[in-house]
């Protein structure tokens, strides 16, 4: 089977900056389920083994899309590096939800996409964003979270919050790139302004889609308790825990092997089975 990869498709969001997406799909005249991967904090579409993951989904018969959020710090000219820290500092949840909506709107028009079968796969913070978008957009009929947070209220507290407000910015060190990555106070203001909208717990309870919650038991960044909580909030969801898997299911940046990490391969096989059972063959 020949796979088609449309790399670095420019997506125009009138509200935000332009950004890039990749589409992977088998060469066919059929209409395929649209699966969109939503990266997390300090993530991007080309991170680690995500491209190998995309190819495996395409080989399984899906139209698989990865994209960079407009304000994730990458640029249209340099999608592999955090070349625009000013944009990173001005990111917020409203912008990410807007970007995701634009991605869905763009790819549902593709001649190879079945617009009745739309699935989001969100990793880490991207899981929280995907949960909210699934609740808000009734076109989405499948939701898979990977190592997802169960709340987007992940901000400094008390004195640290006051310091952030006073200074207008705080910095987080990126351990891999050694960059000091800014967060401007507007991020918190944007959350406060629309706190009800950004309530992941409420959105999880109300989501009408088929839901699969996947988490590694050795996640060092987001406790597995987040997954258990999401599952309790949505009793119709399926919970799938992967023993000893970390936050990125064995993947890292750079990923220089030709094969997927074992745990991520397990994740993908479970996702494919879930989408086929619940959405494709229902």
Q: What is the pLDDT of residues 150-193, one digit of tens each?
A: 999 999 999 999 999 999 999 999 999 999 999 999 999 999 99
Q: What percentage of the chain has pLDDT greater than the value 90?
A: 99
With 0.85 as the threshold, say if the pTM is over it: yes
Boundaries of every domain in the chain: 3-152+199-280
| Residue pair 135/206 in contact by the 8 Å Cβ criterion | yes
Q: What is the pLDDT of residues 213-235, one digit of tens each?
A: 999 999 999 999 999 999 999 99
Over residues 246-264, mean pLDDT: 98
Name the CATH topology of 3-152+199-280.
Rossmann fold (3.40.50)
Q: What is the pLDDT of residues 87-138, one digit of tens each?
A: 999 999 999 999 999 999 999 999 999 999 999 999 999 999 999 999 999 9
Torsion of CA 232, 120, 108, 43, to 10 degrees: 150
Q: What percentage of the chain has pLDDT greater than the value 70?
A: 100
Q: What is the pLDDT of residues 46-78, one digit of tens each?
A: 999 999 999 999 999 999 999 999 999 999 999
Over residues 141-150, mean pLDDT: 98
Q: Does the pLDDT of residue 274 top 90, yes or no?
A: yes
pLDDT at 18: 97
pLDDT at 282: 79
Phi, psi of 92 (to 5 degrees): -160, 175
Over residues 141-155, mean pLDDT: 98
pLDDT at 4: 98
Q: Does the pLDDT of residue 1 top 90, yes or no?
A: no
Torsion of CA 173, 176, 177, 178, to 10 degrees: 40
Over residues 200-213, mean pLDDT: 98
Q: What is the pLDDT of residues 10-46, one digit of tens each?
A: 999 999 999 999 999 999 999 999 999 999 999 999 9
Cα–Cα distance measured from residue 224 to residue 226, given in angstroms and rounded to the nearest whole number: 5
User: Helix 125-136 to helix 93-107 angle, to the nearest 10 degrees?
Assistant: 60
114: exposed, middle or buried (C-beta count within 10 Å: 0-12, 13-18, 19+)?
A: middle
């Amino acid at each position: 089977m020949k796979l088609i990869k449309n790399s670095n498709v420019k997506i125009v969001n009138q509200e935000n900056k332009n950004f890039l997406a990749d589409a992977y799909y088998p060469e066919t005249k059929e209409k395929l389920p649209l699966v969109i991967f939503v990266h997390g904090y300090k993530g991007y579409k080309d991170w680690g083994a995500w491209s190998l993951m995309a190819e495996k989904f395409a080989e399984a018969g899906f139209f698989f899309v990865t994209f960079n959020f407009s304000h994730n710090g990458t640029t249209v000219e340099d999608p592999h590096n955090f070349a625009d820290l000013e944009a990173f500092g001005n990111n917020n949840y409203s912008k990410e939800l807007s970007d995701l909506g634009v991605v869905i709107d763009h790819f549902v028009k593709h001649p190879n996409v079945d617009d009745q079968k739309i699935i989001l796969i969100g990793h880490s913070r991207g899981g929280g964003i995907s949960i909210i978008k699934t609740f808000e957009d009734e076109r989405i009929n499948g939701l898979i979270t990977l190592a997802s947070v169960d709340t987007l209220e992940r901000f400094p507290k008390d004195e640290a919050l006051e310091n952030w407000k006073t200074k207008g910015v705080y910095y987080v060190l990126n351990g891999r790139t050694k960059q000091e990555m800014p967060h401007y106070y507007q991020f918190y203001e944007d959350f406060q302004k629309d706190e009800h909208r950004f309530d992941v717990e409420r959105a999880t309870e109300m989501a009408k889609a088929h839901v699969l919650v996947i988490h590694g038991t050795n996640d060092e960044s987001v406790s597995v308790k987040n997954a258990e909580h999401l599952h309790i909030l949505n009793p119709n969801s399926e919970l799938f825990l992967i023993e000893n898997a970390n936050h990125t299911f064995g993947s890292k940046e750079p990923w220089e092997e030709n094969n997927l990490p074992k745990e991520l391969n397990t994740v993908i096989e479970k996702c494919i089975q879930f989408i086929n059972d619940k959405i494709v063959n229902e």
